[in-house]
Structure 1
Amino acid sequence: MLRRGRATRAAATEARAGGPYRVLASTALGVVLLAVVGAVTGPRWDPVPLTDPITVATSSTAIGDAPPARTYEVRTSVVTVQLDGASVRAQISEPVGLDEPAPGVVFVHGAGTGRFAQAFVEQARALAASGVVAMVPDKRLDTYTTRHRDYVEMAADYARSVALLRTHDGVDPERVGLYAESEGGWIAPVMAAQDPALGFVVLVSSPVVPPREQAAFAVDSYLRNTGVPHGVFRAIPRAVGMSLPGGGFEYADFDVTPYQRAMTQPVLVVYGTGDASMPTVQGAERIVQDTALAGNGDVTVRYYEGANHGIRVDGDVSPRFLRDLSGWVRGLPATAASEPRIAGAQPVQTYVAAPVPEPRWLRDGDVVIGTVAAAAGLVVLAPLLVGGTRVTQAVAVRLRRTGEPEDGEPRRPPARFGRGVAARLALLGSGAVATVVALVVYLVAIARLALDYERNDWVVQGGWLAVRVLGIAVVVGAVLLARRVHRLGAAGEPVAPGVVRKVAGWAVVVGSAVLLAVLAYWGVFQLGI
């Protein structure tokens, strides 16, 4: 009779609670609450449109006042550059048969592990063949890691190569300058500011803005090119704005502006219109403005149609760029002030590279990773606790005599979760962990597409939809669990008997709640809030 009464009360409670409509309404409410959590716990991403486009004077990139081109045979040699506490090798490419000292160029590497055998091969040979001595040092790597980069120290290392090239036979020491590409654009202005005797500076695909701003700009451009849903962009300030896990990365906020404002040398600024990673319009404008503060108006800007970050078109360095580069260097000082100052293909930059909004609370990458790991650990802990308890109970039964205990009391059945509770806990916990994993896999897949300039709607749109559906399924699991617990409580039935099951149940609930909050933070549940 007692059992029948409990069942009757449970049925009545379920009827009062409603059917699928109540589940749907509760799920919708949960998603809205998570959307609010995601909106208030981190910054939005609203890049400012660029409203001041740069205007090119002509589509021709030819350098005015450049001397007629000549072609020389090229001789190469390898030298050793002594640094502070280390040494690197460098290859010098020089023209054969010059009748007067030649200008010289020291190449400053971009990001990565630059070696003269692979880096700037076409540029160095083209310069040497035109009458310019080109020196490509290996990149120093013992002080260069993903977490630690000191651009001022790196400038001092490259300055040793400049000093060596100035003493090389056949080089005019007063006409030695720099060719810096990409990350090198944060190094060469430091060298130019510290050594006014440098003859010139060539900045190719220069970031200009601090690394953190450039990273956010590049990610935004890549994602737009890939066609990702709008909701994914919320991750940009939250990922780029936080301190990265493990510490380091102090160089992310390095500001090259003070050094650019001290550059008095002629500057050649080069971008490719196919480079989505750099603020091609803003960068040139910033360099012109900064050098003007030093009284330096000798800035020449060139844009090459369809060229990528390395000024390559269809895999090869643009021949027009190589022609213009050598003509500008050989023609100095006349080419420093030659017209037109800004020429080539018309660049397009949609948004401004600007300071990245910082997360209000989850600013520490170690905290973010630790929170996710701890929450997932709680979810994994639950089945281990329950499983360990069951194993212990099974061993105890085997050790006891079968049949009735000596006191005549019937043996109690082992404790179990209330009806349906274990399955719903499993759905909630495994679903939360699976959604986090799916989000990480999706973001990695998007990153690969973006870096390869590819589009794949099945991955981009379908993947995001799958992640969001998984997230909603977890909310459904939470609603079903809450309803089951409510019905069991109303019927007077136990939900999680024993300390172990109470701890396991709460571990899944708390861990899953934290993971849902993390998923909300990264935009899985956003509704345009």
Structure 2
Amino acid sequence: MSNRERSEQQRNGSGRSADVPEPVDHAAAPAAWSRWHRLRLNIPIFIMMLGVLVFVSNATAVPWNNEPTGQTISTLTADTSVTFANPDHVSLPENGTYQVKETSTWFNAKRPSTGEVQRTNMIVREPIGAGKGLPAVVFMHGAGYGTAKNSFGDVAEAMASAGFVTAVIDKPAWSTNDVTRDYPGSAAVYDQVIDMLRGRNDVDAGKVGIYATSESTWVSAYLLRMDRKVAFQILLSPMVFSPREAVGFLAAQDFALAGAHEGYQSIVRRAFNADSAMFGVTNPDIRTLEPQTYSIPTLVAYGSKDVMTAQVEGTEAMLAMAHRAGNWDMTIRSYPVANHVLRLGDESTAGTGFADRYVSDVIDWAVGQTRGLKQTSERVAGIRLYQSITVPKDLHANRGLTVYGVLVHVFMLVMLLLALIVALVAFALRIHAAVRRRKGPLLGFSHGFGNQLLTLTITTMATLALFAAGLGQVVMAVVKIAWGGAPDDEPGLMVWSWPVIQVVCTLVVWAWSRVVARLIEVAMNRGVLQFPPRRGSIRAVVSGREPVLASTRLGRVLFWVTSIAMFSVLLVFAFWGLFIY
């Protein structure tokens, strides 16, 4: 032995060379496990993993009472005609009485809260030869991004031909979206338009009213707070309750009408308990149901095929608020076959007409109101009002649920992205090794862990895709129903996908529990899980000579990153209630 070798031995404190690995004590290694031994470990791991997921599903569950169901209000007559006493037998204008002149102008709609300006088109329709002191109506947009050119054209034209000056503008949207709408700001713009009409020499400033539909009935509430001189209002399918309650009702009812599995319906409950204020969105909890909102003469119109509004509870609430304000001039009309915007059929189809007498009834009511006549027809008329489920008034912002939901979804996305990056790195290295014709293991998975990881990853991601497809079909069906279409006779994917996902996820959890049990078995055979660990076992595992998972660091990183990513997918499933419904 040379002097250099002796020196090396002395520095390492032993008689072995420094580059010779410490031997593993194979004599102490236990015998291979029996199938029963593995099963005894597998079952409790499965129970614990499944228990965690079931616990999460139950902890994130939101109680929802749909009772009472099938609420109704009987009308006093099926005839929706609106009539007034006319003791002086004055000739009253009706649809088509006058020719109509249309004028398009532009103005700046300024958002009060930010100063943002939207260049806005306004189309004014006026009756030719109707004289002075005319009543006027400002039309207010529902959801979406309606313009002056593509909105309210037919009804605005009809009302103008009956002696009204009508104004339709581009919807005040500025830089907001459907979630961040500025309702007070929109109300200020519509009030600006009202003042424009009041300033015309052919309009009676005391006879300017509004025509609000759907979402804009939240805007009209703000408008009536800031302008107490609005003469009358026509409310088409008013939302009545807070956005959280009204849209929660809409979603819950339409998910059920679409035929979605109860599991998909439960998603609505969790989604509408989200605390949107955490992200600066406060619209869901605005309160517009107050006496001032219904303090002026009001015509309310519903369609029997409207699946977006709570007609029974909404009518009761509006009447209660109006009576508290001392207003008994409330007229309710319900039209058969008509949808959310009182059209007959699919709203998305161009040229879809209104319910038979709707436009005539609106004109007759508005004419009688602006002439100061006494209504003689029944206040509540048309087809019976019906509501399938109750309004979920117990919905509230749940910050804890929201924080957990955001964290688990962000964690899943981050881990999936990280797993994809590591997998791409491994793929690139494999190609590089093939080009250079290098031999040796790239990942070096042992004991079949590589194949198991691949199988479970494919299965989990396929299940996630099935979940997204099922939910997507539900959303498309709800949109179809909202536009006035009929639900499919065979719901298909939205029904069977949920239980299939449940079964597959349970099998995936079982498979993962077997992987964990196998890891424990191999680690114990390597002496790593002994206390203290068998001499040299940890170094042998880390170096890859006696691997538990894989002989290379890249293989071990890929396994653990992918495994955590797949379990995060299961946690997301659990958040949406997949393990209890």
Q: By the TM > 0.5 criterion, same fold?
A: yes
Describe how 1:169-188 pairs up with structure 2 within 5 A.
Answer: 169-188=201-220
SS in 1 for 2:166: strand
SS in 2 for 1:131: coil
Offset, 1:221: 1.2
Of residues 92-101 and 339-348 in structure 1, the stretch that sits farther from structure 2 once superposed is 92-101
Q: Report the equivalent of 1:55.
A: 74
Residue deviations 1:337-356 (CA, integer Å, cap 9, x gap): 54422111111112222242
Residues in 1 aligned to 2:283 and 2:65: alpha-carbon distance in whole angstroms:
24
SS in 2 for 1:452: helix
Provide closer, same or farther for how the CA distance between residues 278 and 155 of structure 1 changes in structure 2, counting only shifts above 3 A. same
Q: Report the equivalent of 1:217.
A: 249
Residues in 1 aligned to 2:58 and 2:164: alpha-carbon distance in whole angstroms:
57
SS in 2 for 1:352: coil
Residues in 1 aligned to 2:479 and 2:443: alpha-carbon distance in whole angstroms:
54
Q: Check the 8 A contact 2:244/2:284 in 1, yes or no.
A: yes
Residues in 2 aligned to 1:208 and 1:335: alpha-carbon distance in whole angstroms:
28
Provide closer, same or farther for how the CA distance between residues 384 and 87 of structure 1 changes in structure 2, counting only shifts above 3 A. closer
Q: Please tell me the residue identity of whatever aligns with 1:80.
A: W
Q: Check the 8 A contact 1:193/1:263 in 2, yes or no.
A: no
Of residues 64-73 and 191-200 in structure 1, the stretch that sits farther from structure 2 once superposed is 64-73
Q: Select 2:64's aligned residue among 24, 27, 45.
A: 45
Of residues 473-482 and 99-108 in structure 1, the stretch that sits farther from structure 2 once superposed is 473-482
Q: Report the equivalent of 1:270.
A: 301
Q: Select 1:95's aligned residue among 101, 120, 127.
A: 127
Q: Report the equivalent of 1:149.
A: 181
Q: Select 1:437's aligned residue among 451, 465, 486.
A: 465
Residues in 1 aligned to 2:496 and 2:449: alpha-carbon distance in whole angstroms:
32
Q: Select 2:324's aligned residue among 293, 305, 320.
A: 293
Describe how 1:48-447 pairs up with structure 2 within 5 A.
Answer: 48-49=67-68, 53-65=72-84, 70=94, 71-84=97-110, 85-243=117-275, 247-258=279-290, 260-261=291-292, 263-314=294-345, 315-332=352-369, 334=372, 338-353=376-391, 354-359=393-398, 361-364=400-403, 366-384=406-424, 386-387=426-427, 398=438, 416-447=444-475
Provide closer, same or farther for how the CA distance between residues 244 and 426 of structure 1 changes in structure 2, counting only shifts above 3 A. farther
Q: Please tell me the residue identity of whatever aligns with 1:426.
A: L
Residue deviations 1:357-386 (CA, integer Å, cap 9, x gap): 544634046535412212323433553465
Aligned length: 510
Residues in 2 aligned to 1:414 and 1:371: alpha-carbon distance in whole angstroms:
28
Q: Please tell me the residue identity of whatever aligns with 2:357.
A: R
Residue deviations 1:185-205 (CA, integer Å, cap 9, x gap): 011122122212111011111
Q: Please tell me the residue identity of whatever aligns with 2:508.
A: V
Q: Please tell me the residue identity of whatever aligns with 2:411.
A: T
Q: Please tell me the residue identity of whatever aligns with 2:335.
A: Y
Q: Report the equivalent of 2:539.
A: none
Q: Check the 8 A contact 1:328/1:336 in 2, yes or no.
A: no
Q: Check the 8 A contact 1:41/1:361 in 2, yes or no.
A: no
Offset, 1:519: 0.6
Q: Report the equivalent of 2:510.
A: 476
Provide closer, same or farther for how the CA distance between residues 391 and 135 of structure 1 changes in structure 2, counting only shifts above 3 A. closer
Residues in 1 aligned to 2:161 and 2:442: alpha-carbon distance in whole angstroms:
87
Indicate the structure (1 or 2) with the bigger Cα radius of gyration: 2
Q: Please tell me the residue identity of whatever aligns with 1:462.
A: W
Residues in 2 aligned to 1:413 and 1:153: alpha-carbon distance in whole angstroms:
65
Q: Select 2:548's aligned residue among 483, 491, 495.
A: 495
Root-mean-square deviation (Å): 3.3
Residues in 2 aligned to 1:23 and 1:225: alpha-carbon distance in whole angstroms:
43
Offset, 1:387: 5.0
Provide closer, same or farther for how the CA distance between residues 483 and 69 of structure 1 changes in structure 2, counting only shifts above 3 A. same
Provide closer, same or farther for how the CA distance between residues 413 and 352 of structure 1 changes in structure 2, counting only shifts above 3 A. closer
Q: Report the equivalent of 1:408.
A: none
SS in 1 for 2:331: strand
Residue deviations 1:174-223 (CA, integer Å, cap 9, x gap): 11100000111011122122212111011111111111222211111111
Q: Check the 8 A contact 1:56/1:344 in 2, yes or no.
A: yes
Q: Report the equivalent of 2:531.
A: none
Q: Check the 8 A contact 2:106/2:120 in 1, yes or no.
A: yes
Q: Report the equivalent of 1:514.
A: 568
Residues in 2 aligned to 1:99 and 1:220: alpha-carbon distance in whole angstroms:
50
Residues in 1 aligned to 2:124 and 2:173: alpha-carbon distance in whole angstroms:
20
Residues in 1 aligned to 2:36 and 2:30: alpha-carbon distance in whole angstroms:
11
TM-score by length of 2: 0.79
Unaligned runs of 5+ in 1: 403-411
Q: Please tell me the residue identity of whatever aligns with 2:368.
A: G
Q: Check the 8 A contact 1:261/1:293 in 2, yes or no.
A: no
Residues in 2 aligned to 1:6 and 1:393: alpha-carbon distance in whole angstroms:
38
SS in 2 for 1:361: helix
Offset, 1:433: 3.2
Residues in 2 aligned to 1:245 and 1:263: alpha-carbon distance in whole angstroms:
28
Offset, 1:65: 0.7
Offset, 1:303: 0.9
Of residues 485-494 and 162-171 in structure 1, the stretch that sits farther from structure 2 once superposed is 485-494
Q: Check the 8 A contact 1:431/1:474 in 2, yes or no.
A: yes
Q: Report the equivalent of 2:532.
A: none
Q: Check the 8 A contact 2:298/2:331 in 1, yes or no.
A: yes
Q: Please tell me the residue identity of whatever aligns with 1:380.
A: L
Offset, 1:319: 3.2
Q: Check the 8 A contact 1:42/1:362 in 2, yes or no.
A: no
Residue deviations 1:457-502 (CA, integer Å, cap 9, x gap): 3222233344334423422331331243244335436322454443
Residues in 2 aligned to 1:176 and 1:104: alpha-carbon distance in whole angstroms:
5
Q: Check the 8 A contact 2:85/2:374 in 1, yes or no.
A: no
Offset, 1:32: 5.3
Offset, 1:29: 7.0
Q: Please tell me the residue identity of whatever aligns with 2:152.
A: F
Residues in 2 aligned to 1:297 and 1:452: alpha-carbon distance in whole angstroms:
37
TM-score by length of 1: 0.86
Q: Report the equivalent of 2:34.
A: 13
SS in 1 for 2:205: strand
Provide closer, same or farther for how the CA distance between residues 270 and 336 of structure 1 changes in structure 2, counting only shifts above 3 A. farther
Residue deviations 1:434-463 (CA, integer Å, cap 9, x gap): 323332222112100121122243222233
